[in-house]
Amino acid sequence: MPFGRAFDLDPSAVVKWMSHVALFVPIGFLKLLAPRRMRRTQRSWTAVTFFGVCMATGVSALKLFVYSRYFDTTDILTGTLGVLLGWRVGRFFRAHWQQFAASSLEMPTSETAQRWRRAWCGLLLLAWLAAIGYLYWRPFDFTTDPAQFTADSEDLPLYGFRRMTWIPLADYYWGSKYHALDLFLLKAISFAPLGGLAAILVKDSYRAGTATAVVIVALLLASGIETGRYFLPSRAPSTADIFIASGGAWLGFCFARHVRASLWVDRLRRSPLKWDRGLHLLQS
């Protein structure tokens, strides 16, 4: 039965569903951006839904052969929803940057359009911050009582009123390699939207020092998050997560910047005049 755990009112189940949706969003996003020779019927919502069902079902079916995993029909529905969301976001992203390419060559972008773009990016940034805060600080039981941190591993040195290590990656050593890989991917992917929003919001994202500024902002945000986790008995602060999160923001920035430039060039190639003017802008 799909969403069977919803009747248990388990907050961790909701987080798992949302994470599974987010994992399948890039599939729909890339499916829209990559192909250029599909028939119109293959670009419809019905075709995308069928594609999402096939992808989610295939991934879930393979989990039947993995001893440490279990099959859940909920993953098929959430995965399909993620593909559809990625497809819709890709449509908006393509139309937005193609229009931006045209306006940059034909007429300057209006102040109203720039304000709307900043407003949307600001709302998405606030939504991302709320999601990150919930993901990393849940259940928000902040405390400074040393008796609440007795569950910390004895293998770690004692700093302050709880045990932790300042050496990056040392805390990952004591767990399994699969768990370490899961944490690496989770921390990197969770901060990738920050870099993507920065690439969309900054007009001249190729200016020297822009990527460095994004990494510095990610370092500050990740440091603040890990500082809060230090006061959560059920969470384990890690200095390695700060660098992993910063790397994820940098990768998100580079990926979004590359997609933005690709859509811009794709728009210019449709017109020889715009292509010549676009090459002149790139050279300048």
Whether 90 and 33 have beta carbons less than 8 Å apart is answered as yes
Whether 93 and 259 have beta carbons less than 8 Å apart is answered as yes
Query: Cα torsion at 12, 13, 17, 22 (round to 10°)?
Result: 10
Q: What is the DSSP letter of 163?
A: E
* Residue 176 vs residue 86, higher pLDDT: 86
Q: What is the pLDDT of residues 228-237, one digit of tens each?
A: 999 998 888 8
Average pLDDT over the chain, rounded to an integer: 79
Count of C-beta atoms within a 10 Å radius of residue 19: 16
Q: What is the pLDDT of residues 81-133, one digit of tens each?
A: 999 998 888 887 776 665 655 554 444 455 666 676 677 778 888 988 998 99
CA 82 to each of CA 27, 28, 64, 178, 242: distance values in angstroms, whole numbers, following the listed order: 8, 7, 21, 24, 27
**Predicted local confidence at residue 134, as pLDDT:** 87
Q: How far apart are alpha carbons 101 and 107 in whole angstroms?
A: 10
pTM: 0.69
To 10 degrees, what angle do helices 73-106 and 239-268 make?
A: 50
Average pLDDT over residues 45-67: 89
